[in-house]
Structure 1
Amino acid sequence: MSKKKIRLGVFGFGCVGQGLYHVLEQTKGLEAEIVKICIKNPSKERELPSSYFTTQKEELLNDDKIDVIVELIDDPEAAYHIVKEALQKGKGVVTANKKMVAENFKELIFLQNQYNVPLLYEGSCCASIPIIRNLEEYYDNDLLNGMDGIFNGSTNYILSKIFQENKAFESALKEAQENGFAETDPTLDIEGFDPKYKLCIILAHAFGVFVKPEQIANFGIHKISPHDILFAQEKGLKIKLVSKCRKIGDKVFGFVAPQFVDKDHYLFNVENEFNSVAVEGAFSEHQLFVGKGAGSYPTGSAVLSDISALTYNYRYEYKKHNQNTSLQFSNEISFEVYVSWSNGTKINLDDFEEISEKFSGAKINYLIGRIKLETLRKTEWVRSKDTSLILTPGSKVNFVEEKEDIYDKDFV
């Protein structure tokens, strides 16, 4: 396959943009060069000559010498308009903006087809782990049963500091921000939105199902209490923010939630900013991917991989969607959870299908029970700032209608 030299117009020169510049500079044999970089603040001191920079997006979008737009800004709305205009002008696009892709997925695919240009976004999911390319190419004809793992390096870093160094949540979060693993506003990470956007993208490539972010439930780590940490430590457990998706019959589910994991769980020793993705295929069985999921160079290297792929005219074919359009997303599942709450907060015990353990103390209460996901999506008590929800270590997920266990103990 023949290669071509491509000229890049880059939007954003923050953490990922600078990471891309450095890995591109050190890569030999890649026929790509940065022509122009569009930035927001022209007065900020940067390591490149001022001739590289502009604040006018038209200088990139209207430059016929620029073949590919690389979008690396943190504003998903502005990113959407940049990407849309670039595709309409016949330019290939590389982006790492998972929220922008997830919220505009179908339209972006339509634009790719309408203008016959590629849009690649490996850097949007799990940074250094090439999961999208593997789903598109290696697993294109393997019937996948399920995937799960840690899709967010920021929260994993925070939880690692809590369990390894006994740091308080706020202290661990501040350290993650100082190291560039978490944003100044960490809401998307700690409340589980970031891995949810990634899960939307992965569902499309793993099962061919396009799911809107609002259809997927996400429970974050921001309400985990010191009592929850102590509960885990006393039982030799850790807490990880886990994304899960699985298929059975013609249904697919997916959600994001904290989970207790024991020492035999494959995520137990995945620490700091590392991500891990487990893939279960009908034929290939279990594979495990581990790599850095946050930071300048890991994400920059994923963006560079997409740029390299474009020199070979690569584009996503969305093979699973074309193979099977009968699958439907469902939230009709139930699972076992640990729920803790402070005195004064009311929990509706009738919401649970069954309760196996319950404790009431002077300051804290908790229970372990099975509950439907749809119930959690609708109930008010789970939204209370004093209520924490964590999946139990061996929690099996059941489809409510079929009452069938669909997770094996050695995979959860």
Structure 2
Amino acid sequence: MGEHKELVIGLFGFGVVGEGLYKVLQQTPSLKATIKQVCIKHPGKTRNAPEELFTTNRDALLNDPAINLIVEVIDDAIAGFEIVSTALKNGKDVVSSSKKMIAENLPALLELQQKTGRSLLYESSACASIPVVRNLEEYYDNDLLHSIRAIVNGSTNFILTKIFEENLSFKDALLLAQQLGFAESDPTLDVEGFDALNKWTILLLHAYGIVAHPEHILFNGIQNIAKSDALVAKARGQQIKLVAQAKKLINGGVGAYVLPQFVNADSPLSFVKNEYNGVVIESGFADQQFFYGKGAGSFPTASAVLSDISALRYEYRYEYKKLYHHKPHQLNDAIYLKVFVSFTELANIPKEDFEWIEEWHAQESRKYLSGVIALQKLKQNMWWKENGTSLIVEADGIIEDIEERKLKKKSLELAGLL
């Protein structure tokens, strides 16, 4: 390892995160990392930095032999991938915060790192200020990681907190999130679960060595959560959160999804409020670990970019041990979920898709049911995302012993107890 490497940075993007990083680097001269040039898309804007720092010419950064680190914090996944792959091929290390770009291009990015021997770090792409990627990468060995549950999107968590604690409607809570800068003017990526899905794709790789394309993971956002759902949760002493979950299954592989879920009062995730993120890791001998921190915003994200920059002074790189040095896990969709569904029209609910239905409430204007359904059935048919239907996974959502439960149910029915 020896001496620290001097880092000369070419920065792509000078938005919230880029400018945050510029300010933070000015305040930490001990890092020996300097920004030589910043590539931007719109040259006309006034920016809080000397004009000669900026260029619109990509190649000025990518082909400059003096620049040994490219930091990419733009929100265009296609341009981001071109920048990152060119930088690696040109022998430069890369730090990126673009979760969509990383999630959608994992196989290609893994191959580029193998081929070029360069380092690509992206701690800031999942959970901003929480060092979850490096923890999963370094600390949790493959055989010991039982499950990981997380709140990875600050905007949706902020909205749900306001619905619960201030009794706001979904619309008003979203508006407030936008006014405070926690949600984008086009909130679709956050609200409908795409952002959480991209982050989850990245964390599945570091947790279990699973290289999955986001479209292979079951997901939804919070766009259909109704006030009546919140009332049901409150009556049970629970909350509703957008939870990303992965669990090692008894019959092999890993079950994973990103869905709204009831959270019990004693779960660490119930303490994660507003724009914060939280990650609960359960492992063989260490039991439960809980990571908590700001999941969005200029400085929290810049702080994660900074920790990657500082790790590169020691030529740190991800080893992807679970992928390359163990037998990597596979996604296993052969699981059943215990779910709560609220809806307006019974006709929109395919009752025959359920293994069984435990309770019905059909008299109110908003009706609901609780039952058990195969994850594969939810993947085949999207009725649960349509017509304002709301599907929420129960707190103990994943059911593996489905056959035993069916037998038990049958014997109780035969005994006349159900």
User: So what's the TM-score if we normalise by structure 2?
Assistant: 0.92
Whole-angstrom CA distance in 2 between matches of 1:29 and 1:77:
34
Whole-angstrom CA distance in 2 between matches of 1:73 and 1:305:
18
Whole-angstrom CA distance in 2 between matches of 1:66 and 1:162:
48
- CA displacement, residues 183-222 of structure 1 (integer Å, 9 cap, x when unaligned): 2221121111111111111111111121111110101101
Residue matched to 1:296: 298
SS at match of 2:269: coil
1:47-196 superposed matches below 5 A: 47-140=48-141, 143-196=144-197
Residue matched to 2:377: 375
Deviation of 1:27 (Å): 2.2
Whole-angstrom CA distance in 1 between matches of 2:123 and 2:340:
34
Whole-angstrom CA distance in 2 between matches of 1:355 and 1:137:
43
1:190-209 superposed matches below 5 A: 190-209=191-210
- Which residue identity does 2:136 align to in structure 1? L
Deviation of 1:9 (Å): 0.8
- Which residue identity does 1:3 align to in structure 2? H
Contact 2:220 2:259 in 1 (8 A): yes
Deviation of 1:398 (Å): 2.1
SS at match of 1:394: strand
Matched, 1:239 2:246: no
Contact 2:142 2:208 in 1 (8 A): no
Deviation of 1:141 (Å): 6.2
Deviation of 1:262 (Å): 2.7
Higher helix share: 2
Residue matched to 1:266: 268
Deviates more, 1:316-325 or 1:216-225: 316-325
SS at match of 2:337: strand
- CA displacement, residues 243-275 of structure 1 (integer Å, 9 cap, x when unaligned): 001113531121101111232222112101111
Cα distance, 1:55–1:402 mapped onto 2, change above 3 Å = farther
Residue matched to 2:216: 215
Pick aligned residue for 2:399 from 385, 397, 400: 397
Cα distance, 1:326–1:270 mapped onto 2, change above 3 Å = closer
Whole-angstrom CA distance in 1 between matches of 2:313 and 2:404:
48
Contact 1:72 1:95 in 2 (8 A): yes
Residue matched to 1:314: 316
Cα distance, 1:87–1:382 mapped onto 2, change above 3 Å = same
Deviation of 1:59 (Å): 1.2
SS at match of 1:267: helix
Rg larger in structure: 2
- CA displacement, residues 247-305 of structure 1 (integer Å, 9 cap, x when unaligned): 13531121101111232222112101111111111122211111111111111100111
Deviation of 1:109 (Å): 1.1
- Which residue identity does 1:281 align to in structure 2? S
Whole-angstrom CA distance in 1 between matches of 2:324 and 2:6:
31
Pick aligned residue for 1:386 from 385, 388, 406: 388
1:221-232 superposed matches below 5 A: 221-232=222-233
Contact 2:344 2:367 in 1 (8 A): yes
Residue matched to 1:251: 253
CA root-mean-square deviation? 1.8
1:291-370 superposed matches below 5 A: 291-325=293-327, 327-343=329-345, 346-370=348-372
Contact 1:147 1:246 in 2 (8 A): yes
Deviation of 1:22 (Å): 2.0
SS at match of 1:29: helix
Contact 1:339 1:366 in 2 (8 A): yes
Whole-angstrom CA distance in 1 between matches of 2:403 and 2:75:
41
SS at match of 1:268: helix
Contact 2:208 2:328 in 1 (8 A): no
Between Structure 1 and Structure 2, how many residues are aligned? 404
Cα distance, 1:169–1:89 mapped onto 2, change above 3 Å = same
Deviation of 1:45 (Å): 1.5
Matched, 1:18 2:9: no
Whole-angstrom CA distance in 2 between matches of 1:401 and 1:67:
57
Listed as ranges, the gaps of 5+ residues in structure 1 are 405-412
Whole-angstrom CA distance in 2 between matches of 1:397 and 1:197:
25
Whole-angstrom CA distance in 1 between matches of 2:295 and 2:181:
12
